[in-house]
Structure 1
Amino acid sequence: MTAVPRHPAPESPSLGGLSASGPAAGDRAGSGRAAAAPCAMSIDVEDWFHSENVADVVPRAAWDGCAQRAERNTLRMLEILAGHDVRATFFVLGWVAERRPALVRDIAAAGHEVASHGYGHELVYRMRPADFRADVTRARALLEDLSGQEVRGYRAPCFSITDWAIDELQAAGYAYDSSMVPTLAHDRYGRIEGYDGRLPVAELRPGFDEVCVSCLPFGRRGLPWGGGGWFRLTPFALWMRGVEAIRNAGLPYVFYIHPWEIDPGHPVPPGMRPSNRFRQRVNLGRCEARFDAIAGALDWMPVADLLEVWKGRPAAGGGRPGAAAPAPFRAPFPVDEETSR
C-alpha cells in the first residue's frame, strides 16, 4: 500500500464546548477555531433520473424522454446562494450541460466555480479506464467551452472514485478530485487505497489533490456529514452541531447537495425498491429550507478556493503544515465503540 502525501490539519486541542444552538449564530461574525476553518459549498448538477436510486427503473435510453427539471432547480439554488452572497462549486454533469448550455453560462456569470461531474453519470469503478478517460475529457472540454473557465475539479457520480481514475483525471487536465467520502456507511461509495481518511486534503500525485467530502468520526467509522440523504434525514440542529464539531477540530467542512433534492415534485417512477425510494425521497419537502439555512449560517467558498487556503495555511507554531495528524475528535453525541465498529 502506497503512502499518500498529506496536507494535514494544523495541531489543535481536542473538541469541547459545543453550544446548544449550534454554530449558525455568530459564525458569520467570525470568531474562534470554527470560524477559522474554511467551508466549501458544492452542488452536483444532475437531474432526478440520473440518480442511482432510479437507475434500475429508468434506463439510460429513457433519459431524454423524462421531465427535465435540473435547470429550474439549479436556478433556484443560484437565487438562494446569491441571497447569502455565497460562491460555490457546481460539479456539472456533461449530459445536462449539453442540453442546457445557458445554465452553465449562468453559473459562471454568477461568479461560481464550474467543475466536472463527468459526462454520462456512470459509476467509475464499473467503467474501463479508456471509457472513463473519454467521459471526463468530453465533459471538461464542453464545460470549459460553455463557462469560459479552466475546469480544475472533478467529482465522481455517487462518489464512485477508484485508484486508477486518479491518473486518468490528471492526464485529462484536472487538478483535483472531490469524490472521497471516508466512510464505510454507504454501499456505493468508492475508495482510494492508502488514503488516510482522517486527512481532509491530500496530494495524491504531484500537482493533483484530493478534497474529501466531510465525515463525522463515529467510533471506528465515519458518518457521512457532507450532505445527501444524511443531511435530509438528520434533525437540522443536530446536523449543525456535527458541523461545529468538525470545524472546532480545526478541519475544513465540505458540503454537497443535488438540485433534485430541493424538488419534492419530481416524478416517482413506478417499480422503485422501497429502500431506493426512501433514499431518493426522504424529507425532500424540507430540503430547500434547510439548504437556505445552511447557506446563510456559514462563510462559504468554492472547493478550489478551499484547497488553496488549506494548502497555504500555517501549521501550529508557524510554517506550512507538517505531518501532524488532525486533532483528537469528540462527537457531539454519545458513541458506543462496540456497536459502531
Structure 2
Amino acid sequence: MNKHPSLNAMTVDVEDFFHVSAFDSIIKPEDWKDYQPRVEDNTRRLMDLFARKGVKSTFFVLGWVAERYPQLIKDIHQQGHEIASHGYAHRRASSQTREEFLADVTRSKNHLEDLLGEAVTGYRAPSFSIGYDNEWAFEVLKELGFVYSSSTYPVKHDLYGTPDWPRFAYQRKEGITEIPIPTLKIMGRQVPIGGGGYFRLYPYAMTRKLVSRYLNQERQPYSFYFHPWEIDADQPRLTQAPLKSRFRHYINLDKTEAKLARLLDDFNWSTMKDVYGVS
C-alpha cells in the first residue's frame, strides 16, 4: 500500500518485563533486584530500528530505568527522540494517594530533567490509570509543569478504561492536554487499536486496516504505544503468573519486531510534541 500522508505519534513506554502491571500479583518492587534487567538492550534494538526507518519517537521513561541507565536516556535524547515521564516506580496512579502520586512523578521528572538539562513536559500513567476516581492527578501534573498527558484509554477493560471520556486530544479544565489512546468505533463499540497487546494479538493486515480506517474516518492523528520487552522473545517466562496474564504478556513476542518494522514503513511517524503541537 502507499504510505498514508497523515503524521502520527510513535511512543515507547520504557520499562522492563518485571515492571508490568499484569505481574503485580507475583512481583513486588522489592523483588525487582532479583531479576536480570533486559530493558537497555531491548531499547537499543528499538533505537536501531527507528534509525534505520528514519523515525522519531516519544519515549515515556520509567524513573527506575533512568536512574540505572542514564547513558541510555541521554542517547535516546541525542538521537532526536522526545523524552517524557512514565512515573518512577510503575505504580498505577489509581492505587496512589495524591501525595504518593506527587512524590512518584516528581522524582521521575526531576531526574530526567537533571539528565537532559531541559524540561520534560509529557507524562503517561502506568496502565492508563487516570480515571473517574483520580482526576486530581491532572491537577498534580499541571502543578509540576507538564503540558500534556497520555494516560487514558476510552475502552472497557478489567485493568483500566474511561469509555465515556473523549477519544481525541483535548484541553482539560486543569490546563493540561490529554491525548487518549486511539479507539475505533465499530458497530457502536469502541475497539482498542492503540498498540500493546492488541498489536501482538491482531494479524498485521488487520492492524493496518484498522489504523487506515481510523485515519480516513476520524481525520485525527493516530498514536501507537508499545514496550521494549514486546520485541524480546527470549525473556524469562514467569510460570507462576495467572494464565490470563501470561497469555497477554507472551503472545506473539517473536513476531512483534517484524510487524513493527512494517508499521513504520506503512505510516508516517514522529513525536507527540510534533504531531499534537504540545511543548
Q: Same fold (TM over 0.5)?
A: yes
AA matched with 2:67: E
The correspondence for 1:180, drawn from 152, 158, 174, is 152
How much has 1:159 moved relative to structure 2? Answer: 0.7
The correspondence for 2:111, drawn from 142, 151, 154, is 142
CA distance in 2, matches of 1:191, 1:89: 23
Q: Which has the larger radius of gyration?
A: 1
Please say if 1:228 is aligned against 2:196: yes
Please say if 1:69 is aligned against 2:38: yes
Q: What number of residue pairs does the alignment pair up?
A: 275
CA contact (8 A) 1:158 1:188 kept: yes
Residue in structure 2 matched with residue 114 of structure 1 by the alignment: 83
CA distance in 1, matches of 2:165, 2:20: 27
DSSP-derived class of the 1:242 partner: helix
CA contact (8 A) 2:238 2:246 kept: no
AA matched with 1:248: N
> Higher helix fraction: Structure 1 or Structure 2?
2
How much has 1:190 moved relative to structure 2? Answer: 4.3
CA distance in 2, matches of 1:147, 1:267: 32
Residue in structure 2 matched with residue 202 of structure 1 by the alignment: 170
Residue in structure 2 matched with residue 191 of structure 1 by the alignment: 162
Please say if 1:169 is aligned against 2:141: yes
The correspondence for 2:69, drawn from 71, 92, 100, is 100
How much has 1:70 moved relative to structure 2? Answer: 0.4
How much has 1:270 moved relative to structure 2? Answer: 3.1
Residue in structure 1 matched with residue 2 of structure 2 by the alignment: 26
CA contact (8 A) 1:42 1:254 kept: yes
Residue in structure 2 matched with residue 46 of structure 1 by the alignment: 15
How much has 1:299 moved relative to structure 2? Answer: 1.1
CA distance in 2, matches of 1:297, 1:102: 31
AA matched with 2:153: V
CA contact (8 A) 1:233 1:283 kept: yes
Report the RMSD for the aligned CA atoms in angstroms: 1.6
The correspondence for 1:261, drawn from 225, 230, 233, is 230
Please say if 1:307 is aligned against 2:276: yes
In structure 1, stretches of 5+ residues that fail to align are 1-24, 28-33, 312-341
In structure 2, stretches of 5+ residues that fail to align are none
The correspondence for 2:26, drawn from 35, 44, 57, is 57
Residue in structure 2 matched with residue 286 of structure 1 by the alignment: 255
Identity fraction in percent: 40
CA contact (8 A) 2:92 2:125 kept: yes
AA matched with 1:170: K
How much has 1:196 moved relative to structure 2? Answer: 2.6
CA contact (8 A) 1:94 1:118 kept: yes
How much has 1:207 moved relative to structure 2? Answer: 4.0
Residue in structure 2 matched with residue 274 of structure 1 by the alignment: 243
How much has 1:259 moved relative to structure 2? Answer: 0.2
Deviation readout 1:188-215 (Å, 9 max, x if unpaired): 12439x7333xx1100036410111111
How much has 1:240 moved relative to structure 2? Answer: 0.2
CA contact (8 A) 1:228 1:258 kept: yes
> Which TM-score applies when normalising by structure 2?
0.94
How much has 1:64 moved relative to structure 2? Answer: 1.5
Instruction: Extract structure 1 runs of 4+ deviating beyond 4 A.
Output: none
Deviation readout 1:211-270 (Å, 9 max, x if unpaired): 111112123331110101110000100110000001112121100010000001111123
DSSP-derived class of the 1:195 partner: coil
AA matched with 1:177: S
> Which TM-score applies when normalising by structure 1?
0.78
For residues 5-16 of structure 1, the aligned pairs below 5 Å read none
Deviation readout 1:62-111 (Å, 9 max, x if unpaired): 10221100000000000000111101100000001001111100110100
AA matched with 2:227: H
Summarize the Cα distance change of 1:65–1:251 in structure 2 as closer, same or farther, 3 Å threshold: same
